[in-house]
Structure 1
């Protein structure tokens, strides 16, 4: 067999040799690069040398209006950026509790200069206003303390009295950090004149104020919450219970609203008026001339008949009624809307001697 002419081919499993590339050579850093880096480092050093001292030596600034919490104003109270070593140094005395004062800016600048601490920028201010913080104990707290002392020392009911303090609302000023309840010490009270005086104190007499006044006896009264027209029913929402001085309230003032609900106004009641006895009354259950049912009840007998009321009446009231059948006038007691009751006793008082059955 003739041989086949096969082109040259790589045998199976033959690996081509790896071609080695020549290594890239790294060029050395030139003098220009080193020079630029040196210039950048020098620029940063110069910048830091100029800026940091300027920041460190920034001048102190005068604060605006300040609030003092103690007796003395320190350097830090008045100046921003004061050195920590001198920040708590006393500079000026603070105003009295609750008062306001001013300090000339030049005086602060001169005081700081005397300490060799540097310049102080005033920002154009000529003076600084200083307010002294204080806890204010007003008339309401003072009155409550006096009423507690009256109850403990003289047996008065603290809920039934009020204290009318002399002057225009006394105020006890105390440091803001002085906590606790105000107390009334050295209390004196005259039951005849009802005058009292006492020393109001806070914190073991760290703050004190002497006050005087008049003890006023109070009482609960019902006050009309809205205008109520005559004949209009009164509800619980129409009345409010308020505490008023006893001498300013009428003797017949109503002191409870619960028993008045459901009654009707006997006259026009203005809003804010104190409700008095007789201003309201139970509603009329029987009107004059109204047709009513007359009820007669006795042991073994129960009758009902038609009648006509000659009088108007409320629950329990005695009215005259006419028996429609017999035309006789009877005395009856109102027992409900349109209903009256007669009994043996009223019938015996009538001129007629007829038995009750004749009422039919």
Structure 2
């Protein structure tokens, strides 16, 4: 679908290659698919990858992967962010992390966390060891990880980074009943002691650059989800007939719904590409990335729900695979700080003229 941000032939090839590579993998296990994509250097920094060489290429590749498998795109985005963190803040121990072929989940988010400086997970050093205690939010895709990058605050207020094997972290599942429906929420409970070799770095700045890349990638996966929702909607609207034997796409109400969906997705896509291109031009902008993340994840969630209404015309059942797409779309609204929190941040960036 054409947009106002013109992609060059290089980035169009990145899109085609990403779609081809994710589509040709004959596997249903998200972790295994992610590993196979990592072997092709998806999930690597542009300077390390063989399939893209800038952040715009990375962004369009993540969007294409999300169109086919949003769970895999989420896992790969985490690997990119991990590498950004290690590159900016890693110590000598960090090299072993990058040489590993295992997937690593990032455990930073906490309930009510608005800023990285407010992390409540604590790390206390004693006799060459670190005692880490805290609780982190964890997504379904992160549950597939073999190791975790844990953010914790030391006694001096510094944010320290630790790599912890998944078998040393307890996953606590809390069940809540909402409108007679059981909702399961997963938390990673951390209460352990590790050696100095698990400590891989210290965050010593505002963390803005990494957050800019992270929010741009969340936006990219969200655009991919929204795009898939739109394509599904168009297909159903053309296929299903009303009582008069006409396709429901002939209804002005349906046309308005699809046109609005298309316009919002295109606007989100352009904002996402603009943010990625700004990173490539050494003008990384946290405000642009945050706006892209909010707009793209909101339209992904809305489009996914709209598709459910349209799918109702062909007898949608809540246990089909599309329900997982809705969950991932909503998850992106929460990832890295809820969109409500991000809107407050956008207001602050606006006042600061960032």
Give the TM-score of the pair, scaled to structure 2.
0.24
Whose helix fraction is larger, Structure 1's or Structure 2's? 2
**Structure (1 or 2) with the larger CA radius of gyration:** 1
Higher relative contact order (CA 8 A, sep 6+): 2
